[in-house]
Amino acid sequence: MTTPIILTVLLLTPLALGRVWSAVTGNQRPSLAASAAIGLAVVFAFTGMGHFVKTEGMVDMLPPWIPMRHLAVLASGIFEWALAVALLVPRSRRMAALTAAAFLIAVLPINIWAAVNSTGLGGRQWGPAYLWIRVPLQGLLIMWAILASKNVGGSFTIVELDHMGDPRGQKHGCHVQDVE
């Protein structure tokens, strides 16, 4: 049952790191939307990988009436990777975040089916009790996707480390820049 914990940590770490970075450097912290987009991108990169590493377990999660279940698992893994990349690009962030929310809503019935039928990975074999964890986690992921779609004009903060020990005597340290 560690998967929900891992997903929650991956989702919330960019927010926490942004707040710590802001406190340490005194710089303005990244927006909640940017932190949510980064966290959701990391989650989708992780879960997308699972579609290729644990393919058969994920195939078992799908109801038997879904055609080409193996291909569906691989295609959804690629889709999750595409969402992860699109969430990191400010121009596509809003559409990617709204698409992610719709995707998470669309796959929730499959997670419920897998739990009720005690199949698949990530605790679903525990039966309906798993839903007490999975449904709230899915709600958190959906809420995070909606948050990521806000303030699209907001920016990501990029930190560039200057060259340390430059023999020409140039300034050293770091430069923080917001990019659209």
> What's the pLDDT at 102?
97
pLDDT band for position 160 (cuts 50, 70, 90): very low
Q: pLDDT tens for residues 122-146? A: 555 566 777 678 788 999 999 999 9
pLDDT band for position 9 (cuts 50, 70, 90): very high
pTM above 0.75, yes or no: yes
Which contiguous run of DSSP H or E holds residue 39?
helix 32-53
Q: Kindly state the DSSP code that residue 162 receives in the 8-state scheme.
A: P
Cβ within 8 Å of residue 133, ≥6 positions away:
1, 4, 123
Nearest to 38 by CA among 3, 89, 76: 89
* Surface-to-core class of residue 71, CB atoms within 10 Å of its CB (0-12 exposed, 13-18 middle, 19+ buried): exposed
Q: Residues 61, 64, 65, CA angle at the centre, nearest 5°?
A: 125
Rounded average pLDDT over 103-118: 87
Domains in the chain: boundaries = 2-152
pLDDT at 29 over 60: yes
Q: pLDDT tens for residues 55-74? A: 998 898 899 999 999 999 99
Which pair of structure tokens corresponds to residue 145? 């996707």
> What's the pLDDT at 107?
93
Contact in structure between 88 and 41 (CB atoms under 8 Å): yes
pLDDT at 178 over 50: no
pLDDT band for position 159 (cuts 50, 70, 90): very low
> What's the pLDDT at 86?
97
SS3 string, 101-156, reads HHHHHHHHHHHHHHHHCCCCCCCHHHHHHHHHHHHHHHHHHHHHHHHHCCCCCCCE
